[in-house]
């Protein structure tokens, strides 16, 4: 059987990279006494699949992984046992058994929602909110994007599903598919370059709100439960 787990990652642990987070969960699952299944072969390992790795420095309340279990007594007890061994900054928010045929977490991801803010050290024009709104309203946003095969021109607008400005924060829903994902920092970097705004190193605070899959009818829904942009 397969179980999907939703967790948050906040505080200093945001500086821990994805591979170390994976290794941490492998150990935490063993400490929690969960009957996880292992792969076959000469070097068996726990069967885990993480969705949309989080960049170093980002915080999140919408991280996911799937694990295959040999047995499961109670899903609530599984959550409690995991939370009992979690390090500071990581909390299990939800868990559910997956139906047969459900795609794994990594293959399911279609979009991700983010909340962003500029650090105070960034010098912004007084009308930056109006300019950002106008930037988003363009029919096309042509930028140069680095890929594994070199640089190419892409229309960034295609990967921005929604963009709102709330007080001094920018909230975005972005394409997070494996071959077409758009990083939230890249959107604001493109805007600042267009407006001639100079950026220091690490200019943004970035928080992932949720990770989404696309249903057959085209709606975006969270990998577990419900959340903003469910449409």
Place of tokens 């594994």: 148
Do the domains 2-102 and 109-222 sit in the same CATH topology, yes or no? yes
Which ranges of the chain have pLDDT less than 50? 231
**Integer Cα distance of 188 and 230 in angstroms:** 24
pLDDT of residue 230: 60
Options 3.30.390.50, 3.40.50.720, 3.30.390.10, 3.30.70.580; CATH for 2-102 is: 3.30.70.580
Please name the residue that has the structure tokens 């705004």.
197
Contact (Cβ atoms closer than 8 angstroms) between residue 164 and residue 171: yes
| Count of Cβ atoms closer than 10 Å to residue 225 Cβ | 13
Measured CA to CA in angstroms, residue 62 lies from 7, 48, 103, 192 at distances of 6, 17, 18, 27
Task: Please write the tens of the pLDDT for every residue from 64-123.
Answer: 999 999 999 999 999 999 999 999 999 999 999 999 888 889 999 999 999 999 999 999
Residues 6+ positions from 210 with CB-CB distance below 8 Å:
61, 62, 112, 113, 222, 227, 228, 229
Right CATH number for 109-222 from 1.10.1740, 3.10.620, 3.30.70, 1.20.120? Answer: 3.30.70
| Ranges of each domain in the chain | 2-102, 109-222
pLDDT of 216: 86
User: Token digits for 215?
Assistant: 């249903």
């Amino acid at each position: 059987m397969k179980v999907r787990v939703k967790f948050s990652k906040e505080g200093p642990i945001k500086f821990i990279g994805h591979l170390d987070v994976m290794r941490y969960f492998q150990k935490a699952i063993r400490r929690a006494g969960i009957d996880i299944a292992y792969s076959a072969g000469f070097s068996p390992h726990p069967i885990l699949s993480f969705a949309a790795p989080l960049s170093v420095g980002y915080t999140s309340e919408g991280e996911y992984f799937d694990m295959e279990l040999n047995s499961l007594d109670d899903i609530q007890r599984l959550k409690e046992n995991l939370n009992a061994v979690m390090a500071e900054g990581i909390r299990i928010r939800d868990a559910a058994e997956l139906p047969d045929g459900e795609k794994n977490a990594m293959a399911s991801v279609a979009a991700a929602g983010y909340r962003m803010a500029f650090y105070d050290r960034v010098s912004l024009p007084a009308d930056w909110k109006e300019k950002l709104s106008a930037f988003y309203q363009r029919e096309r946003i042509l930028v140069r994007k680095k890929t594994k095969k070199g640089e190419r021109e892409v229309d960034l607008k295609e990967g921005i599903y929604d963009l709102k400005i709330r007080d001094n924060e920018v909230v975005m829903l972005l394409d997070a598919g494996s071959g077409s994902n758009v990083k939230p920092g890249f959107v604001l970097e493109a805007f600042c370059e267009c407006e001639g705004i100079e950026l220091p190193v690490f200019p943004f605070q970035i928080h992932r709100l949720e990770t989404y899959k696309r249903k057959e009818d085209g709606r975006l829904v969270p990998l577990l439960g419900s959340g903003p942009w469910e449409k």
